[in-house]
């Protein structure tokens, strides 16, 4: 994929200088995990984890990196990104789930749910996007409300551009934190439509199912229980995957 084939909006987002000190030094914007320009479904979160770039407090070593960072590009960690870097960064994002990639384990549970609707991240029809394309320290929950709003304001136009893609039909959301952010983010209108219960230590634990629309009228579906953080047995987890998959089939088919 040559430089001329990259959308100008992608190049502009890549070379845009970060204006928040919370953006991790030496990192690059994560345009999408996979290819948003070809996907009909995208899972959606708030911003990339610091673990996409860091091992402890340092950039992940060469050979184990998940994405292209400034060290990969051979430039100083504080050096601004230029147009000549755009192709490598975008290719790294597009190939995040490729055959020789090292994706974060955070995606494993979502991939299990996706498999119930005959999808997976490592095809070109499914990807992951974020409201904010930069990894931060502290993580989102640890940022001040002012810092959070600044990051949303800085990156939301690019996210709206992503959702303008005619190929993109569905945004799939996992977690209460993301739901609460969507409730205060322009262009989203989501509400709880049902509750699903699963067994934990002889107790019925609820997860709310929600549905609505996002920018450009895209269908938004999701649930509040963050799959990675649920302390449940393997059989209960498999049952939850299946029930979420059945619900998604019903809603996406409507």
**Bridge partners, 209 (sequence order):** 194, 223
Q: pLDDT tens-digit profile of 94-151?
A: 999 998 899 999 999 999 999 999 999 988 899 999 999 999 999 999 999 999 999 9
Average pLDDT for the chain: 94
Please, which pLDDT band fits residue 202 given cuts at 50, 70 and 90? confident
Share of the chain above pLDDT 90, in %: 85
Instruction: Return the DSSP state at 226.
Output: -
Rounded mean pLDDT of 178-205? 91
Please, which pLDDT band fits residue 254 given cuts at 50, 70 and 90? low
Cβ neighbours for 19, distance < 8 A, ≥ 6 positions apart: 150, 154
CB crowding 67-102: b at 16 or more within 10 Å, else e: bbbbbbbeeeeeeebeeebbbebbebbbbbbeeeee
Please, which pLDDT band fits residue 3 given cuts at 50, 70 and 90? very low
CB crowding 30-65: b at 16 or more within 10 Å, else e: bbbbbbbbebbbbbbbbbbbbebbbeeeebbeeeeb
pLDDT at 235: 85
Nearest-5° Cα angle at 100, 96 to 33: 5
Point out the least confidently predicted range of 14-28, 142-156, 201-215.
201-215
Point out the least confidently predicted range of 14-18, 66-70, 199-203.
199-203
* Domain parsing of the chain, residue ranges: 3-253
pLDDT at 234: 84
Collapsing DSSP to helix, strand or coil, 143 comes out as: coil
pLDDT at 253: 81
Classify domain 3-253 at the CATH topology level. Uracil-DNA Glycosylase, subunit E (3.40.470)
Q: pLDDT tens-digit profile of 52-105?
A: 999 999 999 999 999 999 999 999 999 999 999 999 999 999 999 998 899 999
Rounded mean pLDDT of 207-224? 97
> pTM to 2 decimals?
0.95
pLDDT at 229: 78
Asked if the model's pLDDT at residue 244 lies above 70, the reply is: yes
Cα–Cα distances in angstroms (integers) from residue 225 to residues 73, 91, 110, 186, 206, in the given order: 38, 32, 12, 23, 8
- The phi and psi torsions of 190 (rounded to 5 degrees) equal -125, 150
Cβ atoms of 155 and 132 closer than 8 Å: yes
């Amino acid at each position: 994929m040559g430089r001329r084939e990259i959308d100008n909006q992608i190049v502009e987002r890549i070379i845009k200088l970060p204006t928040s000190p919370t953006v991790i030094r030496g990192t690059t914007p994560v345009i999408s995990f996979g290819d948003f320009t070809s996907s009909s479904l995208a899972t959606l979160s708030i911003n990339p984890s610091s673990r996409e770039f860091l091992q402890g407090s340092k950039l992940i070593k060469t050979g184990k990196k998940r994405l292209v960072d400034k060290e990969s590009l051979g430039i100083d960690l504080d050096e601004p990104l230029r147009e000549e870097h755009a192709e490598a960064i975008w290719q790294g994002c597009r190939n995040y789930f490729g055959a020789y990639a090292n994706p974060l384990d955070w995606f494993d549970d979502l991939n299990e749910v996706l498999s119930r609707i005959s999808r997976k991240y490592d095809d070109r029809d499914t990807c992951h996007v974020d409201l904010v394309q930069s990894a931060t320290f502290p993580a989102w929950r640890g940022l001040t409300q002012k810092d959070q709003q600044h990051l949303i304001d800085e990156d939301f136009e690019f996210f709206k551009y992503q959702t303008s893609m005619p190929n993109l039909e569905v945004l799939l959301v996992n977690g209460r934190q993301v739901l609460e952010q969507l409730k205060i983010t322009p262009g989203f209108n989501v509400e709880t439509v049902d509750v699903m219960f699963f067994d934990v230590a002889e107790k019925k634990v609820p997860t709310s199912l929600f549905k609505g629309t996002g920018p450009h009228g895209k269908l938004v579906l999701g649930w509040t229980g963050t799959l990675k953080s649920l302390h449940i047995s393997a059989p209960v987890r498999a049952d939850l995957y299946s029930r979420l998959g059945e619900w998604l089939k019903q809603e996406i088919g409507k």
